[in-house]
Structure 1
Amino acid sequence: MTDLVYWNWIASKSWLTPIVAAATESEVDVEAESGSLILAGVLLSLVIVYFASKLGGEICARIDLPPVLGELVGGVLVGVSAFNLLVFPESGCTADDSLIISFLQQTAGLTPEATPHVFASYSEVISLLSELGVIILLFEIGLESDLKELIRVGPQAAIVAVVGVVAPFAMGTAGLVYVFDVPVIPAIFAGAALTATSIGITAKVLAEIGQLSSEEGQIIIGAAVLDDILGIVVLAVVASLVKTGEIQITNVVYLILSAGVFLIGSIVIGRLISPLIVGLVNEMKTRGQVLLTGLSFAFTLAYIANVIQLEAILGAFAAGLILAETDKRKELEEQVIPVADILVPVFFVCVGAKTDVGVLNPTIPSNREGLAIAAFLIVVAIIGKVITGFTLFGNGEINKLAIGVGMIPRGEVGLVFAGVGSASGALSEATEAAIIVMVIVTTFVAPPFLRLVFKEPEEAKETPATTEN
């Protein structure tokens, strides 16, 4: 009996009508209650996000650390690792773990029946705002980048990206298999997690210290973009290996071709149609024409990238590069800043909030094996990226150490690998914990190190001038 036939049969029984009506009325009441309280949950979450981001950012700025590091730490404090103010179902949390839910129950009359729906819904909204935040961030970074400079450093960026993927993957996988006796598939998955680079975190730090437009900064950004593409391919290959036990070559080829065609095609076509976009903007008489047209273009390319199984952030970055070559660049940069100030902190705080630093507790026996593996992964993660800068031979004036350090943070990209591995059942608890610890450490140590390695050459240059005077 189908559901439709069943409920028609129920409705035909007059003695059941009051019961059916009561059940339907109850569902309607829950939905009506949920609607307003979902908004309340989103608003409270945003208050927490902005408070955590500004408090952490201000503290770090005053002790000469990148504010983005403070946003990440602020996220850890309000997230699953500490106060449980901002928790998410994908982190394994339930509504009972959320202090926002408790607050809504005590102050807004949230009922137990509506609690799961409200928790899942407002958490999903915040996660979506977080994804929008990183899209806006990469669009802003694209606007601040120089396409001609990126093309010029393209071969160098490609070398850095390839070495930054192959070296940590090979060292990590081999070490886990032969030193720690980890099974091959989990070892490959952990090795794959080492290949990622969080372009969002690195780009934000480079912008904060005024090095985004430097040659080193452009190499790092170019390499990080290529890293994302290669990382997507690696993740697809490993996921296919876990599901089928074999690598589907056709899927790998499709991802490589689609990534190349999208990036090159979007830039070439974008440069051809950008004069039309500028002409359209110039004809508009309403407010916000530059910002809304620019964001529409960025979201369109982000959508296309997402549809062809690439990262949406690549599309947003490409849109920024294209519009940066128009005479609307400066105006668009200025107008995007307030939008970025609203959405980008949501991304960084959420990355911190979803990170469980409880896996660092050595007093828990189940964590010890994971910590030993994590120590190995951290060493490989750092060395495997730092050496990338030193593969650029014949470039004596480039700060090669800064390039390598800029490739270190794994951030949300590494967490994606850990999440996919966990969902597939390929990872043991120890290996999953080790990957999470590696992501935490590389994410938090890279920003201050990046600022340090960029500062040292500047001080070295200033010293001779001071001596001569």
Structure 2
Amino acid sequence: MVDALSCFSFFGSFLGALPLSISWPSFMAEVNEAEIEPLVLAGVLLSLITVYLAAKVGGELCARVNLPPVLGELLGGVVVGVSALHLIVFPEGAGESGSVLMQLVQSTSDLEPEGILSVFRGESEVVSVLAELGVIILLFEIGLESDLKELIRVGPQAAVVAVIGVVVPFALGTTGLIALFNIATVPAVFAGAALTATSIGITAKVLAEIQKLSSKEGQIIIGAAVLDDVLGIIVLAVVASLAKTGEIEITNVAILIVSAAVFLVGAIFVGRLLSPLFVGLVDKMETRGELIISSLIFAFVLSYIAATIQLEAILGAFAAGLILAETPKHKQLEEQIVPIADMLVPVFFVTVGARTDVSVLNPLDPANREGLIIASFLVIVAIIGKVVTGFAVFGQPGINRLAIGVGMVPRGEVGLVFAGVGSASGALSESLEAAIIVMVILTTFVAPPLLRIVFKDSDSVPPDEEVQVATSSSSEEQPSAS
């Protein structure tokens, strides 16, 4: 996932690449900064109004037809985004034209087009950062609701699921593109790498909605998705290096692997040692919000450390949640984080939908047809390559293996990052990039309802079978208890 630092980095590179006839300093001189700032705030407020309306309307509609509300938030984002109403758009998707909301801002001010363009960039940056904060809060909340002991217990199974979920789709996708479509090796490797991604945010939200987050299946999915995220970062670093230099830099790969392992294990180990000090410090505070503010500081510190060592900021937030879930304050903290999550998390899901251009799904456009043919192959590999991971789980009688596999299917914004990096490096053709985007769209939108269906099927196990499963599980766990 792209973290907040990536947003700032992209923003800077975008400004530097603007094809304007005047230089950036002179442009800034012509725009009255005091006049721009309140309009940026106005644009952000309009964007948040649109985001919340889209999230609520979409979520409520999906909830009423027994679909995950997160799917409604994604669909609401598509409706208000670049694919339809152009209310929430971003510089990389709208160019210099801005959004409909920016036209509304311009109609109520006397700014020149250059000034509105500056407002548009500022508004887009703020919304992007709020979206990234949303997914950080989401993973912190998921960490709080997870059981560290259970995650450690299912760790071997989660590791197997994660590794297979990276190796199988990567191998099938890369070899299939080369053999069936005669695609060159480097582009095929990039597309195969995009198939390895898993969107932990989307799956975790669905699991929380259907109250399966603390189940064995949910814990294996979350553990595997976290490891998959780490492996995905490593794979992305490898293929990006291959695209740029034609060779893989072993040193960088080794550094990423070591830093990921040290961070995850070290953060949890040290955090558990220091958690009593954290609780004691919070108990001594007398000001309002002592628990939630102290916890967010802790989560943001770990997120910052993760981001600075080229990992995902969300990994730090998840680790912080796991650590604080072991403290006596975890129930109180869970209650206090909910309003913050309700405010920020929808921004993330709506913006994911808003950035998704579904026009690449139009078969009537001749330019899309080659991409759709390749996309059909990628979608099949993307689903099969993740579903088979559930059947690799061992030592868990009665577990819903299909649910585990389906939980690993959605690519979400993670897959779009792979497509974006591949496009920026020049490794992907237009048709192959479109195929990857189609694969990301379909896996993202199909997985949430499928996940609810496969869990619902497992809930309808006959009572006598449930008794047998419970008996066998208790008999297996008895020796370890003694």
Normalising by structure 1, report the TM-score: 0.92
Q: Do 1:198 and 1:409's aligned partners in 2 also have CA atoms closer than 8 Å?
A: yes
1:327-364: per-residue Cα shift (whole Å, max 9, x none)? 01001100000000110000000000000000001111
Q: Which runs of at least 4 in structure 1 moved beyond 6 Å after TM superposition?
A: 23-26
User: 2: distance between equivalents of 1:272 and 1:220?
Assistant: 27
- Paired residue type of 1:199: I
Secondary structure at the aligned position of 1:391 is classed as: coil
Q: How far 1:401 moved relative to its partner?
A: 0.2
Q: How far 1:130 moved relative to its partner?
A: 0.3
1:415 and 2:442 matched: no
Map 1:282-431 → 2, pairs under 5 A: 282-431=283-432
2:206 aligns with 205
Q: Do 1:190 and 1:431's aligned partners in 2 also have CA atoms closer than 8 Å?
A: yes
Map 1:169-208 → 2, pairs under 5 A: 169-208=170-209
Q: How far 1:255 moved relative to its partner?
A: 0.3
Secondary structure at the aligned position of 2:142 is classed as: helix
- Paired residue type of 1:45: S
2:218 aligns with 217
- Paired residue type of 2:43: G
1:32-71: per-residue Cα shift (whole Å, max 9, x none)? 2211111111100000000000000000000000000000
2:142 aligns with 141
User: 1: distance between equivalents of 2:183 and 2:85?
Assistant: 34
Aligned residues: 442
1:61 aligns with 63
1:252-276: per-residue Cα shift (whole Å, max 9, x none)? 0000000000000000000011111
Question: Runs of 5+ in structure 1 lacking a partner?
Answer: 1-22
Q: Do 1:95 and 1:101's aligned partners in 2 also have CA atoms closer than 8 Å?
A: no
Normalising by structure 2, report the TM-score: 0.90
CA RMSD of aligned residues (A): 1.5
Question: Runs of 5+ in structure 2 lacking a partner?
Answer: 1-24, 467-482
Secondary structure at the aligned position of 1:96 is classed as: coil
1:263 and 2:264 matched: yes
Q: Do 2:157 and 2:394's aligned partners in 1 also have CA atoms closer than 8 Å?
A: no
Change (3 A) 1:330 1:393: closer
1:164 aligns with 165
In terms of Rg, which structure is larger? 1
Q: Do 2:91 and 2:98's aligned partners in 1 also have CA atoms closer than 8 Å?
A: no
- Paired residue type of 2:404: I
1:41 aligns with 43
Q: Do 1:104 and 1:110's aligned partners in 2 also have CA atoms closer than 8 Å?
A: no
Q: How far 1:394 moved relative to its partner?
A: 4.4
Q: How far 1:392 moved relative to its partner?
A: 1.8
User: 1: distance between equivalents of 2:143 and 2:111?
Assistant: 43
Q: Do 1:96 and 1:102's aligned partners in 2 also have CA atoms closer than 8 Å?
A: no
2:133 aligns with 132
Q: 2:52 aligns with which of 50, 53, 60?
A: 50
User: 2: distance between equivalents of 1:79 and 1:227?
Assistant: 29
Q: How far 1:127 moved relative to its partner?
A: 0.2
User: 1: distance between equivalents of 2:231 and 2:254?
Assistant: 12
User: 1: distance between equivalents of 2:261 and 2:316?
Assistant: 12
Q: How far 1:31 moved relative to its partner?
A: 1.7
Q: How far 1:365 moved relative to its partner?
A: 1.0
Could you tell which deviates more after superposition, 112-121 or 50-59? Answer: 112-121
1:111-162: per-residue Cα shift (whole Å, max 9, x none)? 2120111111110110000000000000000000000000000000000000
- Paired residue type of 2:63: A
User: 2: distance between equivalents of 1:140 and 1:24?
Assistant: 45
Q: 1:27 aligns with which of 21, 26, 29?
A: 29
Secondary structure at the aligned position of 2:149 is classed as: helix
Q: How far 1:462 moved relative to its partner?
A: 5.1
Change (3 A) 1:82 1:287: same
1:227 aligns with 228
1:242 aligns with 243
Secondary structure at the aligned position of 1:376 is classed as: helix
- Paired residue type of 2:369: R
1:70 and 2:72 matched: yes
Secondary structure at the aligned position of 1:80 is classed as: coil
Could you tell which deviates more after superposition, 133-142 or 107-116? Answer: 107-116
Q: How far 1:463 moved relative to its partner?
A: 8.7
Q: How far 1:95 moved relative to its partner?
A: 4.0
User: 1: distance between equivalents of 2:170 and 2:27?
Assistant: 56
Q: Do 1:194 and 1:414's aligned partners in 2 also have CA atoms closer than 8 Å?
A: yes
User: 2: distance between equivalents of 1:144 and 1:25?
Assistant: 49
Q: Do 2:189 and 2:239's aligned partners in 1 also have CA atoms closer than 8 Å?
A: yes
- Paired residue type of 2:411: R
Aligned identity (percent) is: 69
User: 2: distance between equivalents of 1:463 and 1:154?
Assistant: 30
Change (3 A) 1:29 1:309: closer
